[in-house]
A = this chain, B = another copy of it.
């Protein structure tokens, strides 16, 4: 997509870089726009849907409903409910005939990604998805530099097991750079994770 800003400058898709560099170079800055990772992914999934590329949604937040009022002539009101821990991942759907399943998390940590962002249920869910031929991964955002990585769930499982065997409770950023893939950040779509899927899976579809 090519378009011009009102200032007459041609729009150029910026490479993935840290916000510091962006500021230094006075380029278009997508970082720190006050958007959460969830909002960016919802926008990305809407883009994919409207372009006819994929059908991927975030699942609703799981809630345990305890008390509901049914006032006359108006909608039911939930008066007491609690957040439940999800037993699966947040996002799933279909892309080129394949089942896509992922979780997205962010950290303010600059040098490593804490594994406490995940829980055992999710790790075993992701393993099951892979066993059944699905494509499973996590999207990890380092919010201090606005860098976003794609890590296959097989690698996440490896680091999870290392922790359970007494190893470190996080994945170092160097490890994420080695085993994961940097996701291009843009305007539309904001977080183009399917470009990574395309490069790493064969579709006969």
Contacts and interface: CB of A to CB of B under 8 A. Distances in A.
Interface of A: 49, 52, 54-55, 57, 59-63, 65, 75-84, 86-88, 92-101, 125, 128-129, 131-134, 205
B80 A131 contact: no
A55 B134 contact: yes
B96 A99 contact: no
A78 B95 contact: no
A76 B65 contact: no
A195 to B, nearest CB: 17
A134 B49 CA distance: 14
A133 B96 contact: yes
Given A78-B78, A83-B76, A133 B92 contact: no
A54 B97 contact: no
Contacts of A95: 132
A133 B78 contact: no
A55 B55 CA distance: 18
Given A60-B63, A81-B63, A99-B98, A128 B88 contact: no
Contact of A128 (B55, B81, B98, B133): B55
25 contacts: A49-B128, A52-B131, A55-B125, A55-B132, A60-B60, A60-B61, A60-B63, A75-B82, A75-B83, A76-B83, A77-B81, A78-B78, A78-B80, A78-B81, A78-B83, A79-B80, A81-B81, A92-B92, A94-B101, A94-B134, A95-B132, A97-B133, A99-B99, A99-B100, A133-B205
